[in-house]
Amino acid sequence: MYPATTLAQKKKVKAKPPARLERLMCTRGTEDEQARIAVEVRGGRVQSFAYYSKKKPRTCSVHIQRDDAYSTWSDEGRFTKVTTETGDFLIENRPKYVKFLFRDVDRMHYCGTEIGRINGTLTVTRGKRDCVIEKLMDAHQEEPDPILQPAPQDRVEQKPDPRS
């Protein structure tokens, strides 16, 4: 005979439904010069983000997802560190906003421009359409190539003529 089973064992245990997916997005700027981000948060943890910026004629585009082959995600409290071969992103998830810190992200890889780094922050506030951006759009600035720069000219200071 089969062992007796309890009523609790006979009832199917219902799986907990997945946490609600929250989608946030914001934009800042005009058609010709803008930055925007879309973020997906589930269970208080960022699952993916897509950043886009444009400053004619240049554009930058970053799309990173948790558990993909191109990034490593580590969570510690409200902070998430995303490590990629081309730079790091630090994400702070608070009840009112999600803040992204771009740290030495390779500009050539994401923007298709000359060698340089993307550094700065972007904050998306829940319930608002405008982003708060600090130094992030500086990635679109041209960095002079030191090899192509003309050498400084030796200047001979001209002293005023004492007779005049």
Is 118 in contact with 60 (CB distance < 8 Å)? yes
Confidence of residue 158 (pLDDT cuts 50, 70, 90): low
Neighbouring residues of 102: CB distance < 8 A, sequence distance ≥ 6: 87, 89, 118, 119, 120, 121, 122, 136
Please choose, from the candidates 20, 21, 45, 26, the residue with its C-alpha nearest in 3D space to the C-alpha of residue 126. 26
The pLDDT mean for the chain works out to: 83
pLDDT of res. 147: 47
Task: Give the Cα separation of 121 and 135 in Å (integer).
Answer: 7
Listed by start position, the domains of the chain span 21-140
Confidence of residue 148 (pLDDT cuts 50, 70, 90): very low
Span of 48-52, 75-79, 103-107 with lowest mean pLDDT: 103-107
pTM above 0.95, yes or no: no
Please choose, from the candidates 98, 143, 92, 95, the residue with its C-alpha nearest in 3D space to the C-alpha of residue 117. 143
| Region for residue 111 given its phi and psi (left: phi exceeds 0; alpha: psi -120 to 50; beta: otherwise) | alpha
Identify the residue with better confidence: 149 or 136: 136
Tokens for 46, please give them. 């960022």
130-159 average pLDDT score? 63
